Chains A and B, each alone.
Chain A
Amino acid sequence: LAKTTQPISMDSYEGQEVNITCSHNNIATNDYITWYQQFPSQGPRFIIQGYKTKVTNEVASLFIPADRKSSTLSLPRVSLSDTAVYYCLVGDVRGYGGSQGNLIFGKGTKLSVKP
């Protein structure tokens, strides 16, 4: 069961870099690490996905150490519109189903960006 642990909440100011770390000590070999952003009353939005090392796209970077037991989502220069809940999801979509420990959402991290 690839359970994830994230901080419940984080505060930041506009223009700062925000790093949110997720712990997943029993990640399996086939598991990918995916981060989603969710605004109130909306479905989660895909941010970034990775398997190992570093992944970067136009909105974020994902750092994964060699042991893959944790991952860090990095949001550069956040703005007020980045205020949302961020979820780290660890699993292999092919092995779908909560009974297999995949696709289980943790509690997420509520990021509040202040002016």
Chain B
Amino acid sequence: GAVVSQHPSWVICKSGTSVKIECRSLDFQATTMFWYRQFPKQSLMLMATSNEGSKATYEQGVEKDKFLINHASLTLSTLTVTSAHPEDSSFYICSAWRGTKQETQYFGPGTRLLVL
């Protein structure tokens, strides 16, 4: 159990376009979903936290108007990179948390974004 999927697994887009990444918890309902970004040879950096039906909480330095997060249901969260630029090229990873104290967060496989 505790499987998280992401779609697409990789995407190439032109500068100025918007890209949507989906994160789904396949076999459990996620109280909270998290979005991370990882640059080559670096650690994961938390971008934002989202709860179903609520506005996302963004970490300091992350532009909320550029990285739009929608958590429409307990099994789906989306991250939209608006007006993408080459510096947004990165590996985006989501995770989902069931909501119990002892439960850990489970990560998706990641989405590789390349902006040309």
Contacts and interface: CB of A to CB of B under 8 A. Distances in A.
Interface of A: 32, 34, 36, 41-46, 49, 87, 92-94, 96-99, 103-108
Given A32-B102, A43-B109, A106 B97 contact: no
A14 to B, nearest CB: 25
Q: When A and B form their complex, which 7 residue pairs have the shortest distance between CB atoms, in order from nearest? A: A43-B107, A105-B44, A105-B43, A43-B110, A98-B59, A44-B107, A98-B46
| Range for the number of chain B residues in contact with chain A | 20 to 34
B42 to A, nearest CB: 8
A106 B107 CA distance: 16
B49 interface: yes
B59 A45 contact: no
Interface of B: 2, 4, 6, 32, 34, 36, 43-46, 49, 57, 59-60, 91, 93, 95, 97, 101-110, 112
Contact of A44 (B2, B44, B57): B44
Contacts of B32: 93, 96
Contacts, number: 62
A59 B108 CA distance: 20
A85 B26 CA distance: 26
A107 B110 contact: no
Contacts of B49: 96-97
A36 B57 CA distance: 24
Nearest to B4: A43
8 contacts: A43-B110, A44-B44, A45-B107, A46-B106, A93-B104, A94-B101, A96-B32, A104-B46
Contacts of B102: 32, 49
Contacts of A42: 109-110
